[in-house]
Structure 1
Amino acid sequence: MVVALTDEQLQLTDSMAGFAKRHGGLDLTRTRFDAIAAGHRPDFWDALVGQGLHAVHLPEHLGGQGGTLAEAACVLDAAGHGLLPGPLLPTVIAGAVLATAIGEPAAALLEAIVAGGTAALVLPADGEIRATTADGGWRLDGSAGPHLGLCAADIIVLGARTEAGEPLWFALHTDTPGLTVQAQTSTDLTRDVGTLDCRGVHTADALAGVDEATAVGITVGMMAAEAAGIARWCVDNVVAYLKVREQFGRPIGSFQALQHKAAMLYITSELAAASAWDAVRGGDRSPVQQHIAAAGAAVTAIGRLPELVVDALTMFGAIGYTWEHDLHLYWKRAISLAAAAGTATKWARALGDPDLPGRDFTIELTEVEPDFRAEIAAALDAAAQLRNDTPGRQNPEYAEYWTGPRRTALADAGLVAPHLPAPWGLAATPAQQLIIDEEFDKRPYLVRPSLGIAEWILPTVLGAGSDEQRDRFAVPTMRGEIGWCQLFSEPGAGSDLAGLATRATKVDGGWRINGQKVWTSSAQRADWGALLARTDPDAKKHKGIGYFLVDMTSPGITVSPLRTAGGEAHFNEVFFDDVLVPDAMLVGEPTAGWSHALATMANERVAIGAYVKQDKESELRALARRAPQDTQVRVALGEVRAATNAIGALAVRDTLGRLAGHGPGPASSIGKVGTALLVRRVTADALAFSGRAAMVGGGEQPAVARSLMMPAEVIGGGTVEIQLNIIATMILGLPRG
């Protein structure tokens, strides 16, 4: 995934990628390592300036393209993918920070950058530069670095501190008396690194209007965009290699171990791009939100980039470790970027402040469809005057499942599942769904109803069922008057649903069901179940399956609770002994059940992936508050938040894409895997930091109880391994084994 989101941004990314291909070229770069290290401009710099690609984000009245930081991120994403050498990243960062300054001096310097001048930004934290008043201006003393792009820079935007520790900003030409730049041996062979020394540097004026937190956010966002391009290059080239490299007479991309590694590489890359996009987008938010977004990108996109490249190297094998292979050039740039951004541990510790708010992913739609919003607001206000009075059939212990006048009013208004077609829902567009979300959020006293398991089943019934089935089940399910269970998994089939053995034999008036299901949630209280059974034992295993709606009070059904490791019976085994299901309860054709099952599982995986919206960090947050000096707890909390925010950013990007008319992307599969890994990480950390307290069970230690419930979330809706198979073959196009 590229950082770009809009059609115009995608075109800009393609334009920059084309430029990098025409003018970059790693073969040419290899002949210029010494010149690059000395800070010489690459031969293509004038051409790049001529197209304005270095200044897409600078003001139009100063000669720039008048774009935003998002457009600059698109340029850097493509440049990172092409490993374009030279001072582009430092110049873009310095120009972006300089553009926040006020006054004519800053404008003149921006015009110089637009005209082709190179620049670099030195943050106050990058060195020890002191600013003291002298001769009606300022004297600068101290040193900074090592820093990217100092040797190539014409202009240095320098952050210093006064004796009182306050930040001040200056713009200096590199030929200023007293200022010395010393070239260093750069880890990144495609970009120079230098140190800065100021000895009695005199300058008349400081820049006005530059904010340190904003400068840091810009720097991290732009670096993260380049990191996303590098990660994407790794995925593209690994996948291409796995498709053509053969061992044992077949492509190595058909080996499941490599498929899973490639899928994980892809997931990590996608989350890196999402977090980079979020950091750039965070510049438009409050300082706290900008800090949260920047810290998340520093951890997810930049800090983990070197390891991502190493993961790619292991899939190339020994060839990827050679000097002739391009991978080591990307690896070295990844190392240099991560070092320049500061340690991921430092960023995670800052993000792990337990008093920080959550990342605000609100999408503003205040001016969109005002009449629709007014209708929704009126329906919700009317429902709020009513009360529910009966525990729900699905999960009676939770308020969102209760039934009564309020639930009925919301169901009849199409607001229980507004994405469903009318008359059961509102056939709400993505924008309308967001409006409904906003209106519910404005009324925290109004509990939003949930369909629970029926959320996965009902769309299949509505889409493929008969009129009789829709009339019988839709309204009572929406009103919460019917509880459902899903009868898919079997002891011998697991995630391979096509391997199921439960048999449906045709008899007069219906089907006789024999077999066993397992891991069935809510079967002990469900009124109806959605059942997969084999209707044609001679057909290919995906073809001979039927999808049935089963009355759970039917003779011959035995429900046996399964106690999990925590001691509670959340799941069940269900036995079918000559259970008669009428013909009217078969959904669609007798052998079309596999396609219906896929639709149901897709809904389930989206729902489980959305669990990340719930509070996953409560135990870690409580531990961080109880032990505020424990750095390890705060680092762990920060890493969890970075992962959570990356998944959230991915979901927001997917939503915005749908609002723009694009179809759904792979976000649900990525979110499912990311959420499962996140849940495992949180529970493991909470246990580790609980120490000896974890020896006490019986519900007295939340971390233990949470850990014992963790497998239900990780395995539910299909294991991580199944999702990795889907990503590898269906998204990355690797050959099936």
Structure 2
Amino acid sequence: MPIGISDEHAELAASVRKWAESQGSIAATRAAETDPEALAPWGALPAEMGLTAIALPESVGGGGGTLLDQAVVVEAAGYALVPGPFLPTVVAGLLYDDAELRAGIAAGEVTVGLGIDGRAVLGAGTTTHLSVPVGDGRHVLVHADAAEVRPGEAIDPTRTVAEVVLGAGAASGAPTYEASGVPLPLVVLAAAEASGIARWCLDTAVEYAKVREQFGKKIGAFQAVKHLCAEMLEVSESVTAAAWDAAEAVESDADQAAFAAGVAATICFDGAVEVAKACIQVLGGIGFTYEHDAHLYLRRAIALRAALGDTGAHAAGLAATAATGVRRSGEIDFGGLDAQFRDEARTEAQRIGALAESDRRAALADTGFLTPHWPAPFGLGAGPVQQLVVDQELQNAGVERPDLVIGAWAAPTILEGGTDEQRDRFVRPTLTGEIVWCQLFSEPGAGSDLASLRMKAERTEGGWVLNGQKVWNSMAERADFGVCLARTDAEAKPHAGISYFVVDMKSEGIDVRPLRELTGEALFNEVFFDNVFVPDDCLVGEVNGGWRLAVTTLANERVAMAGSKLGDSVELAIDLLAELDSPSAPEKVGRAIALAQVVKLLATRATLRSIAGQGPGAESSVAKLVGVRSRQDSAELAMELLGAEMFTGSERSLAANDLFLRNRCLSIAGGTTQILRNVAGERLLGLPRG
């Protein structure tokens, strides 16, 4: 999904891309190889469309929009590889509070080359003005005639770069701005351009993989190519989420803006390069030709990263910001959509909060506040906005919901596919904690490939007899009931012959045996069924209709906003920074912070899409893949930073060890990472099945 979530932003981005393509943006770049003047019109062309002044004040001829509006345009321009000094000119207009300059940019009469240091001024040599650093964090804006411009090597043929040497007195009386390091608007809009580059590369690779044939198959059907495209999707969505939040955070306080910009600088520029390289890999030989456009995007990505500076330094800066206690808040602007729910939710939440702790769970169940996304009378049938309002008011009232664990999957399935008697019997007791559930799905030969399960359910008088084995069953040793899949038609296709049962875990013939995991604990079990009788009133839904219900069980998720905490391992790593004398630690911790924040941003963007009434995007699926990597890598990093303390048995070393070992299951449970990448490739990217 692109940066813009709203319909207006989607339309704006589409119009910019269509305009750039109609003007021959890439053709101009190719023509410039033999005709240096081919790019000359691209100084003024974006201004004619009003694209350079989207976020400038209306008083100077600008659009009066937000930085997010401008980021949407820059991303689309990056996707279309708009050449010339568009990006540096836009950034300069935001940096210099000079009405004459801004009016000139809006009118297309002024273009600006922008430098972070004097050796690499983007756009220099083709612009009317130059923004050049003069020391002590000060930058000045001078006319191009007042400086010596020494053309540099054009790594990126779409945009010139040069060293600029100011003449004596050139800076006197010139407009100035001050910034330490890379200025915020440049980070934000360069990140948006990186997002556009990554998206083009992903789209191009996927479209090619759908049609290119090798060995009698479309190459997208090969798992290696499918996984590479899925990994491109993960990185591309991460880049977009980080760029989006950096643009959003500008409206927040300075600490929030700096944190979000640090995440973007750490993620986006490396990410664009990574996806551009992968695009050429998918394209194969054709991607290595000069005739294909892929190398132009790789060149733009690598030059952009070089211009913005060492991403490791940005990561270290992010770690330093986080070490002061700054975290990105999870606040959300409902645009007034919450008003109709707010007062009632606040009143009810405060009433529940005033109850004794022992009475709160029943009250949450009675009001529907425990599971507001479930249908009445067990929930509120709440949409995304109402769910989030209830969450906020419960948090404000100091009320914490109990965790339903497996019941959060089992009960919704019974609500959808069960009988009225089953709903009455099982759902409310699940909410009040009277019933504890386990899940009996996986088998030794049917993990990610769940449709291959072999447990048999055979008809008998008044019910069914189940025989077989289940494995990896958490809570089976103390559960009252389990939701169980069993094969009721051995002759049917794998998905078609499965039924969904509720099993009383105290039934005769059930043998629960603990499984000790690599942590040393026994959180899972294997469960053996030896002629276990299940009555007809515990069959949920239709015979052989269990697969659809199983999908419901696994897919039932509520809308929620991510909190500000980055995760135990990342928070520990941040705490350790103050104790360490390691030159590499700040960068490593900063990268862990950035990745953990991206996971939260993907969840937030998915939630905002729900609020906007849009269908699910790729964010929620990608969030699991990226989240697994974040949690596993950060747990390993915490152990690395603890060093020899890991052998002392200190409280935090034991916690780090437990997290590292426990998190190994994350890339296995609920479908392995490799299987999920197959699913992402096929369902999200539309690649053919193998």
For this structure pair, what is the TM-score category when the shorter chain's length is used for normalisation?
Answer: over 0.9
How far apart, in 1, do the equivalents of 2:19 and 2:174 lie?
A: 37
Alignment partner of 1:297 out of 264, 284, 309: 264
- CA distance in 2 between counterparts of 1:630 and 1:448 reads 41
- Indicate the residue corresponding to 1:273 in structure 2: 240
Superposed, 1:376-387 pairs within 5 Å as 376-387=345-356
- Who is 1:563 aligned against? 516
Judged with a 3 Å threshold, the aligned counterparts in structure 2 of structure 1 residues 598 and 470 are, in CA distance, closer, same or farther, namely same
Structure 2 residue aligned with 1:190: 158
Asked if 1 retains the 8 angstrom alpha-carbon contact of 2:47 and 2:105, the reply is no
Counterpart mapping for 1:86-165 below 5 A: 86-98=84-96, 101=97, 106-120=98-112, 122=114, 126-127=116-117, 144-161=118-135, 165=136
Give the Cα separation in 2 of the matches to 1:246 and 1:41: 37
CA-CA distance at 1:441 after TM superposition: 2.8
Q: How far did residue 172 of structure 1 move?
A: 1.9
Measure, in 1, the Cα distance between the counterparts of 2:210 and 2:285. 17
* Residue 1 of structure 2 is aligned to residue 9 of structure 1: no
| Aligned residue number for residue 217 of structure 1 | 184
**AA in 1 matched with 2:299:** K
Match of 2:460 in 1: 507
Once residues 493 and 564 of structure 2 are traced to their aligned partners in structure 1, the CA distance between those partners, rounded to angstroms, is 35
List per-residue Cα deviations over 1:157-203 (Å, max 9, x = no partner): 44544xxx4x4453322223xx2222111211111001121242245
The answer to whether the 8 A contact 2:43-2:127 is kept is no
The aligned residue for residue 733 of structure 1 is 686
Equivalent pair of 2:502/2:539 in contact (CA under 8 Å): yes
Equivalence map 1:505-544=2 (5 Å): 505-544=458-497
2:571 maps to amino acid: S
Distance 1:515 1:612 in 2: 43
Asked if the contact 1:454–1:483 (Cα under 8 Å) also holds between the matched residues in 2, the reply is yes
Q: Among the aligned pairs, what percent are the same residue?
A: 40
Aligned pairs for 1:419-430 (under 5 A) are: 419-430=373-384
- Write the distance in 2 (CA, Å) between the matches of 1:215 and 1:306: 19
User: What is the deviation of 1:45?
Assistant: 4.6
- The corresponding residue for 1:18 is 18
Report if aligned partners of 1:503, 1:533 keep a CA contact under 8 Å in 2. Answer: yes
Looking at structure 1, the residues matched to 503 and 293 of structure 2 have their Cα atoms a distance apart, in angstroms, of 59
- More moved, 244-253 vs 46-55: 46-55
Post-superposition Cα deviations, 1:242-270, rounded to whole Å, max 9, x if no partner, equal 11111111111101111111111111101
Match of 2:342 in 1: 373
Corresponding residue for 1:395?
Answer: none
Partner of 2:31: 31
Structure-2 separation of matches of 1:545 and 1:632: 53
- Mapped partners of 1:538, 1:698: distance in 2: 57
Q: Is this contact kept in 2: 1:145–1:194, CA < 8 A?
A: yes
Contact 2:79 2:199 (8 Å CA) reproduced: yes
- Structure 2 residue aligned with 1:355: 324
Q: Does 1:258 align with 2:225?
A: yes
Q: CA deviation at 1:609?
A: 11
SS of the equivalent of 2:279 reads helix
Q: Give 1:76's match in structure 2, choosing from 49, 74, 77.
A: 74
Given that residues 608 and 672 in structure 1 are in contact (C-alpha distance below 8 angstroms), is that contact kept between their aligned partners in structure 2? no
Distance across 1 between alignment mates of 2:251 and 2:610: 22
Q: Does 1:342 align with 2:309?
A: yes
Segments of structure 2 that go 5 or more residues without pairing to the other structure are none
Amino acid at match of 1:245: R
Q: 1:47 to 1:352 in 2, by over 3 A?
A: closer
Q: For 1:44 and 1:412, how far apart are their aligned partners in 2?
A: 64
SS at match of 1:447: coil
> What is the CA distance between 1:714 and its match in structure 2?
2.8
8 Å Cα contact 2:45-2:108 kept in structure 1: no
SS at match of 1:372: helix
- Aligned partners of 1:609, 1:555: CA distance in 2, in Å? 44
SS of alignment partner, residue 532 of structure 1: strand
| Partner SS state of residue 352, structure 1 | helix
SS, match of residue 224 in structure 2: helix
The equivalent residue for 1:415 is 369
Contact preservation (8 Å) 2:471, 2:526: yes
How far off is 1:30 after superposition? 1.5
For 1:265 and 1:371, locate their aligned partners in 2 and report how far apart those are by CA, in whole Å. Answer: 41
8 Å Cα contact 2:365/2:432 also seen in 1: yes
2:145 aligns with 175
Distance 1:207 1:44, change over 3 A: closer
Aligned to 1:485: 438
Q: Does the CA-based 8 Å contact 2:121-2:132 persist in structure 1?
A: no
Report the TM-score, using the length of structure 1 for normalisation: 0.89
Q: Is the 8 A contact 1:170 1:205 kept in 2?
A: no
Per-residue CA distance 1:334-379 (angstroms, 9 max, x = gap): 1111111111100111111223422112103495444522222222
Question: Which residue matches 1:287?
Answer: 254
SS in 2 for 1:419: coil
Structure 2 CA distance, aligned partners of 1:702 and 1:517? Answer: 30
1:322 is matched with which residue: 289, 307, 313?
289
Shift of 1:107: 0.9
The structural deviation recorded for 1:535 is 0.8
Query: How far apart are the structure 2 equivalents of 1:518 and 1:578?
Result: 17
Equivalent pair of 2:319/2:587 in contact (CA under 8 Å): yes
C-alpha separation between the residues in 1 aligned to 2:385 and 2:316?
36
Q: Aligned partner of 1:220: which letter? A: V
Q: CA deviation at 1:156?
A: 2.7
Q: Write out per-residue CA displacement over residues 417-446 of structure 1, whole angstroms, 9 at most, x where no aligned residue.
A: 111111111112211122122223323x43
Q: SS of the counterpart of 2:120?
A: strand
CA distance in 2, matches of 1:669, 1:149: 39
Where does 1:639-678 land on structure 2 (aligned, <5 Å)?
639-678=591-630
Q: Which TM-score applies when normalising by structure 2?
A: 0.94
Distance 1:122 1:49 in 2: 17
Q: Residue 117 of structure 1 contacts residue 155 of structure 1 at CA under 8 Å; is this kept in 2?
A: no
Q: Cα offset for 1:696?
A: 5.3
Task: Provide Cα deviations, 1:520-570, integer angstroms capped at 9, x if missing partner.
Answer: 111111111110110110000000000111111111111101011111111
Separation of aligned partners in 1, 2:535 and 2:110: 77
Name the residue aligned to 1:244: 211
Report the CA distance between 1:491 and its aligned residue.
Answer: 0.3
C-alpha deviation, 1:468, in angstroms: 0.9
The code of the aligned residue for 2:392 comes to E
1:54 — aligned with what? Answer: 52
